[in-house]
Every structure is written in structure tokens, then in C-alpha cells.
Amino acid sequence: MYKKIRIGRGKGYRIEHGHPWVYQNEIEHTDPYISNGEIVDVYNFKDRFIGRAYYNAQSQITARILTRKEEQINTDFFSRRLLQAKRQREAYGYTHNYRLIFGEADHLPGLVIDKFGDYYVVQILTLGMEQWKKNITEILINQFRAKGIYERNDVPVRTLEGLTEQQGFLSDPFETHIEIEEQGVRFQFDLTEGQKTGFFLDQKENREELKAISKGAHVLDCFTYTGSFALFAAYYGAASVTAYDVSARAIERAVENATRNQLSQCTFTCANAFDVLPEKIKSGERYDMVILDPPAFTKSRKNIQSAIRGYKEINLRGIKLLKPGGFLMTFSCSHFMSDELFYETLCEAAYDSGRTLKRIKYLQQSKDHPVVLGIPETQYLKGYLLLVE
């Protein structure tokens, strides 16, 4: 028997309709002596079962629902979830490198697992999921035949759950510099460093959009990180690719990857895009394509106005740097920068530039990062491929 929490009257609509988060101020009753990290049953105000969740009184999100069934939460439960996610990815063509578990979208809130060949990177964001780390590791080793597992739990959000930041091996130690291939382009990166789990799997399909528009183009790629968009533009026939990132280490990796793929038309420079773009406009430089894939300008609602100003500035300058008939590929990966806000910001940038923007394609996160209807937090990456007249 699991202990019980009950949601107050008028506060359970969102949860009963599929959202897995139960906030502290939504709970009317809690059974005594519930330990943080413990599995609990969630009921509505009419005492009807809603779901089974893990609990943490220290977190503002006090309970996160794992299942809507009255089933046991044990190693077999996690095994079924991981195998289900694997089958879903394989059904739409992912076999080698992909996000195996995308938190709430795979009904495992607080858990991210990325697969790079036979190696896995695990990121656990919540205390409730931390309790099952050993079980998850055993599943990856015994059922998924993982050659190596590394945890990237070096994220500040863990402190909100009463957890420390940490990273290290969950399997026997292994060489963390690995090489993967994506559509003919080879990338080497270190699982122990960089953003997220080391490589941006969520842009997989968007990188392929460059194939039709890169041939013979002069490309400017800002916020290049380790150069994935830049390398694909060059691989698909760009005449030149000029790329910038503020991280010196990321630029080193980008140069190494360009050399690995013999893409000599790429030039990588460590610099801040907010400084570089005005200088290029002033000097009269113009490009056939500009790619803008910045990190999230805000990770909270309170800083949204500052983020809007940042997105408008870089897109306005990117538009000004394009020749008539050039392409702008632009993104926002901030959940709080909604589709509507991002669209409005691009419209304002277009108006201020005096140019016309035509939407060629709406871009979003790859299929291994599924969006669950009713859980808006699962949708974070949005972008546009635009023709600039």
C-alpha cells in the first residue's frame, strides 16, 4: 500500500487531464510520515485515484506522476518504460544516436537519457528519480547492453530538489571522447563536457534542411557551439562558412570536426555574436544564409522581456546581413519564449529592418524529443527557415 495525497477542490483539472506535475499549493491532504522520494498515490477531491507519483515536500512541484495505473513502481516498471521508448524511436527510424528518454514525454519525469551508439548519458533532475538511478543503470547494462554509462548531473536545477550537482561514471570507466556519424558528417565530442549531454540531438532534422539551400552559399553561423550547423552547410556544398561562438573550448572542437571531415571552407572564431553582428553590418558584409541558434535567453518567466529584446536584436541584425533572396534559419530553445512570442518578435525585427520575411518551413525539435499534448513543457525548441527579400 502506498501512502496518499489528495488534491483540493477546483485544483485538479490540469492534472486529471494528463499533466504530471502536482504543485505544493494544489495539495489539500497528505498522509503522515511520507519521506521525500517516496512513491505515493494521488487522489482528487472526490477521493478518486488519479495516478501514482514520487513525492518531495522540498520541491515546489511536490509530486510528479509516473503512471495513471495502480501498478507497482519497481525495476520491471522502469524496464517497460525504457523498452517502450526504444521501440517508439526505432519505429520512426532512429537506431544509433538519439534521445532515448525525454522526461515527461516518456512518462518518466526528471529523467533524460541520450544514446550515442553503445554509450549512454544519463541526466537526473529530481530527487524522486534519483532513488531509481541504480535500477536504471542496471537496465541499461543488462538489457540494452550498454558499453558505458556516464551521468551528467551537473545542472543547477537539482539544487531545487535538495540534490547536489555531480557527474561521473555509472558503469566501468571508459574513453569519453566518442565519435558519431550523422548523415555522412562525423563528429567527435566529449561526453563529460559541454552543454546538455555533449551533443544537440534535438536539431537532427533541422540540420538536414540545409541540404537544399547550401550549395554555393556564403554562410554565417552564430552560436555555432561545436559546429554542427556549420559543418552540415559545408558538407552540403557551401562556398564558405563563417562561424562564431563565445566558448573557446567549443570552437576548438568545431575546428577539430571540420578537419576530421575535410571541410576547409569553414572558419571558426571565438567571439560574442552580439559584438560580431553590428561590426559586420557596419563593414558592409552580406551573406546568402544566416543561422542563429542561441542558448536559451531565459529559463524563467520573470526574465522574458529581456529575452525578447535579445531575440529581436540578433534577428534584426541577422536580417540586415542577408542579401535579397537569402535565408535566415533562426531558433529559440526557451520554453518560456512561446511560439506566439517568437513569431511576434520576428515580425517586429522584419518591420524594423524594412525587409519582407517569407516562411519556408516551421522548425522544431526532432522526433526523439516528442511533444505531449497537454504538457506544454515538452515543447521547447521552435524555429523558422525564412526567405528574406
**Domain of residue 269, residue span:** 178-388
Residues 114 and 120: beta-carbon distance below 8 Å: yes
Catalytic member of 222, 266, 270, 333: 333
Cβ partners under 8 Å of residue 156, min gap 6: 165
382 forms beta bridges with 332, 364
**For residue 183, what are the CA distances in angstroms to 141, 168, 180?**
28, 30, 10
**210 shares its domain with 299:** yes
Higher pLDDT, 27 or 306: 27
Which CATH number fits the domain that encloses residue 216? Answer: 3.40.50.150
Q: Is residue 333 flagged as an active site residue?
A: yes
Model confidence pLDDT, tens digit, residues 56-103: 999 999 999 999 999 999 999 999 999 999 999 999 999 999 999 999
132 and 249 in a single domain? The answer is no
The secondary structure of 53-105 as a DSSP string is: EEE-TTSSEEEEEEESS----SHHHHHHHHHHHHHHHHHTT--SEEEEEEGGG
What pLDDT does 299 receive? 72
Number of Cβ within 10 Å of residue 301's Cβ equals: 9
Q: How would residue 228 be classed by pLDDT, with cut points 50, 70 and 90?
A: very high
Domain at 106, CATH number:
3.30.750.80
> Domain boundary residue among 19, 48, 67?
67
Same domain, 213 and 313: yes
Per-residue pLDDT tens for 118-147? 999 999 999 999 999 999 999 999 999 999
**Do 20 and 161 belong to one domain?**
no
Q: How many CA atoms lie within 13 A of 232 on its CB side?
A: 21
Check whether residue 341 and residue 373 sit in a common domain: yes
Given a contact cutoff of 8 angstroms between Cβ atoms, the answer to whether 103 and 368 are in contact is no
Examine the domain organization and report whether 187 and 313 are in the same domain.
yes
CA geometry: angle at 57 spanning 114 and 34, to 5°? 105
Question: Model's pTM, two decimal places?
Answer: 0.94
**Are 294 and 383 part of one and the same domain?**
yes
- The answer to whether residues 164 and 297 belong to one domain is no
Looking at the chain, the number of H-run helices and the number of E-run strands are: 10, 20
